[in-house]
Amino acid sequence: MYQWFQNLFQAIKIRILLIAAFVFVAGNWSLHSFILAPSQAMVKVAKKDLAEMKETYIQLKSTDISDIKKSLEREVDYLNEKQEKIFSNLLTDEQIPLLISRLEREAESTGLIVSTDIVHENRDAKKKKAKSQAFVTINLNYTGTFEQLLSFLKKLKNWDEIMLIKNFQIHNRNSLKNSLNGQVQFISPMEN
């Protein structure tokens, strides 16, 4: 019977060692998977961020303030020239019929059939306040294909006049034809 207790004790001891080994391996795996691996990834990201900040610091330290100032002055000069060009190209009342004629010719040269009308905006405000900007809105009604319309809009992109598209509508009233109808509203600032 004594031998039997010893064998039982030995079997229990082996099982306890196996369970302890399993708990040890599972604990190490859990420690690595849930604590160490994410921490290592965070350390890699932090090292990368630190390297980028060091590089930026070195660039800033080596950059001469006068270079930054010159760059900003060039940008201001460019924007001033652009503003001067914009305000030098404002429409006058005499130029509106010429602009409309040019719009119609460009549209018809692409094959569109067009008609136009004009709406002056802020005319009363122009009389009251010199600071308010007057605008002219040109409604261009068209009929043609999508390709013709796209070609017309591409041509307008190269114009010097300031023309913004305020409203753009396309209708396909007859789905059997490849014909579109619609309206484009252009808005352009005018001289006060």
Side chain identity at residue 4, one-letter code: W
pLDDT < 50 regions, the chain? 123, 125-126, 129-130
Asked if residues 108 and 149 have their Cβ atoms less than 8 Å apart, the reply is no
State the pLDDT at residue 44: 84
pTM for this predicted structure: 0.49
| Three-class secondary structure of residue 89 per DSSP | coil
- Residues 6 or more apart in contact with residue 50 via CB below 8 angstroms: none
Angle between helices 96-109 and 146-156 in degrees, nearest 10: 140
State the pLDDT at residue 126: 46
Asked if residues 130 and 192 have their Cβ atoms less than 8 Å apart, the reply is yes
- φ/ψ of 118, rounded to 5, equals -120, 145
Spans of all domains in the chain: 1-62, 96-190
Q: Does domain 96-190 have CATH number 3.30.70.60?
A: yes
